[in-house]
Structure 1
């Protein structure tokens, strides 16, 4: 499924707009079955959504989809919907998890940034204060925390997943203390998890230093999260983060020449995870803006998104032939290329609101609706 480097395979502006429309209409369907809950995931192409009353770490992406939709449509009704979902995230302020940065950057700060929503601004500010209070000067980071899967060792762990969201969330604060904490945390994450362009997904502090918990560069989405975090750090503070970000993007190209990468490089018979390419593309769009001649990285990102949209993992694009039945054909806009642990012993390819948000955001960047550093 390798993608050749030719302009003919890039999505045109017309195709991008058509795909944006499909994803927007998909939001309506998902909303129709939520009953004021938070949609988590739907296995494969089934449209059988698992709904949560609280949303876990994914909840912020549900309001983020509506914030982005209102940005696209200019609809006051869409903005009110986003704001309503945002208010329901307030219960997560006290959860002991660094993944609150996912919830409140995407779920609240984007509402402040794109719509000037006062409640979103207040909620984002409160989340920064709550997260900053968890900063541990001994290990110079905000640890993973015990909730949302962190467990009893979460107080001594650092993870790479939420780095980009945390940097962006804290960048909205005017307090120098918050900026300092964010940079201390970032530097610790790089010391513990970054090695020659590759990322360990987490590390545990013991015997006065961090110890990585996995092999660097193996998990594709973890690598993509890390690249995105570096690009956000580069946008915020410049060097040396820009050099690191460039090296990490080069590492991605070298180790993942296929635009639809395996979930894990050490399991050639395992699942693919196209969502990792979508997240990596967001990093590459940002890197392109930070370099004197970033066009090759913008082209690379455009190629990745084009390949994902044209693949069987996205339902509804008119050139896709993967329509096993009329039910799927009548329910387009499904991006089911997200590898996700649906229970303790099982990973599946699913449709998720975070995957759809990132895909929609990448498309919006391509046509200039949002800026690369806004997501």
Structure 2
């Protein structure tokens, strides 16, 4: 029996569809504007209760309690970022102090040559800190992280390599959809320094991703491999998704959000076209089940494990697309997703839960982090709500 099917065999398709009270296919979650406001209030209350006791970086939950990474891993920027969002909502100096303390612990990662996720680490933490406080140390640190990130650029293939140290030949030709989310750090560096080298690399990477990841139907693979010596494309692959031909829902969300952001920074229509194709591909799925399953092409769809974090990221991307294009379908779908997360995924019924949003999935195929809370799930859920309730403050803080 495969790990992927074990849970469905144990509980049956109907049980899998109803995990955590999620509606069966075709059902709708019952919530609304008032519920979303209450969801944001709940997030602030939870952070006010839990955050003062956290001195490391939450990575995921186990038995509803955060487990941590000391270095921050790839997720370290989301905790200080979440605290900055709470500060935007409340203006409470407690959240500002905790956000600054947490962000400062990422300082050693500015020169990290072993990860492509420096945007995830430093944009919600240090770039937001600079925009909120005006203190140049945050700006300078984010630029230093950008200098580290562009060293991963492959000039032959015109892409930023994903995993591994830049001197390690392993994975040297691997590109992943997630990296679209790291590009905004480079646009920030170009804007602040006046040096176009950062944004040029960001644009070239986005064009390479658009060329090789975007399928005719608007879906994407998780990974695309290239020959690192020549830049010659090899073909699609996956680590997080069900297969090289499937559509991992969180990866699709990273792409939607990332390409929309690249359009914001460049004004070049080619990137908006990609973002809308990615969005249009997922709309039919979200009409059936507003909280996405972990891979839209899972053979157990629509009755597979959900990923609330994919839903929260998707909601942010759709709200941004609605703002840019005026297409109300995107906004209506985003609100539907947020309603469903609020109605079925919040941890409100647990007295021991330390996170805000439950029912996240980190790595379904490896049976790792299933039905857990994830720091990026919490972060993007709150970001999406602030897009609705505090759009001006959020725009100033994250550069919308």
Match for residue 170 of structure 1?
186
Equivalent pairs counted in the alignment come to 355
The offset of 1:366, in angstroms, is: 0.9
Match for residue 114 of structure 1?
132
The offset of 1:201, in angstroms, is: 0.9
Preserved contact between residue 310 and residue 377 of structure 2 (Cα < 8 Å): no
Preserved contact between residue 142 and residue 185 of structure 1 (Cα < 8 Å): yes
Residue 244 of structure 1 aligns to a residue whose secondary structure is helix
Residue 144 of structure 1 aligns to a residue whose secondary structure is coil
User: Which residues in structure 2 correspond to 1:1-375 (within 5 Å)?
Assistant: 1=23, 11-12=32-33, 14-34=34-54, 36-43=55-62, 46-95=63-112, 96-146=114-164, 153-164=170-181, 166-173=182-189, 174=191, 175-196=195-216, 197-206=218-227, 208-214=232-238, 215-237=244-266, 238-257=268-287, 258-264=289-295, 265-268=297-300, 270-291=304-325, 293-311=326-344, 313-316=345-348, 323=349, 328-329=350-351, 334-341=356-363, 346-369=368-391, 370-371=394-395, 374=399
Choose 182-191 or 105-114, whichever is displaced more. Answer: 105-114
Preserved contact between residue 38 and residue 62 of structure 1 (Cα < 8 Å): yes
CA distance in 2, matches of 1:152, 1:33: 41
The offset of 1:94, in angstroms, is: 2.8
Give me the TM-score of the superposition, normalised by structure 1. 0.86
The offset of 1:70, in angstroms, is: 1.3
Residue 155 of structure 1 aligns to a residue whose secondary structure is coil
Preserved contact between residue 222 and residue 247 of structure 2 (Cα < 8 Å): no
Higher relative contact order (CA 8 A, sep 6+): 2
Preserved contact between residue 83 and residue 117 of structure 1 (Cα < 8 Å): no
Preserved contact between residue 30 and residue 39 of structure 1 (Cα < 8 Å): no
Structure 1 vs Structure 2 CA RMSD: 2.7
Give me the TM-score of the superposition, normalised by structure 2. 0.81
Unaligned runs of 5+ in 2: 1-22, 239-243
Unaligned runs of 5+ in 1: 317-322
